[in-house]
Amino acid sequence: MFDIGFAELLIIGVVALIVVGPERLPDAVRTASAWLNRLRRGFNDIKQEVQQELHNDAVMKDLKALKDSSEELRRETQSLGSDFKSSFSASKNDSSDPTIAAPADTSGDSGNTRNKQSSAAEESGAPESSEGDDQASPIMDRKAGD
């Protein structure tokens, strides 16, 4: 804080001893140190209050930024909700339109594949295999016997 060396402190002490006197010097030192402590405490209190206010300002800025972003998210959510509702109502209206054809049934395709496999097996002379058969192949019987 102050650039006071030992020589300066010695001069101040000698002057204080001459001016105040040896009997009242201890009381004067106590009074001066009490005032100095009060002054330091006051500066520390002010410093803490300023730091607290700066922290509060930073927190308030963060809260405002969060509030702004939450408002933006709310608006986006509402617009997405209204878009979804309008597309849902449009698709609902389209599905009730009798001019639109129903999708074709694709479940008959697997039966055609089965028939094609059967006819290919008949042409080659091989016996027809079934996926649901519980019969074991001769290779499996040989492995089981080992």
pLDDT of residue 41: 97
Query: Is 114 a member of any domain?
Result: no
Residue 1 placed within a domain: no
Instruction: Output the pLDDT for position 43.
Output: 95
Q: Hey, CA dihedral for 18, 23, 28, 29, is it positive or negative?
A: positive
For residue 107, what pLDDT is reported? 54
pLDDT score for 36: 94
Residue 52 lies in a domain: yes
In a domain, 111, yes or no: no
Residue 86: the pLDDT is 86
In a domain, 101, yes or no: no
Q: Is residue 132 part of a domain?
A: no
Provide the CB-side half-sphere exposure for 114 (13 A, CA): 9
The total number of structural domains that make up the chain = 1
Domain of residue 60 covers 18-91
Other beta carbons within 10 Å of 114: 13
pLDDT in tens, the chain (146 residues): 568 889 998 998 899 889 989 899 999 999 999 999 999 999 999 999 999 999 999 999 999 999 999 999 999 999 988 888 888 887 777 765 555 555 555 555 544 555 555 555 555 555 555 444 455 555 555 555 54
pLDDT at site 61: 92
10 inside domain: no
User: How many CA atoms are closer than 13 Å to the CA of 16, on its beta-carbon side?
Assistant: 14
Question: 141 in a domain, yes or no?
Answer: no
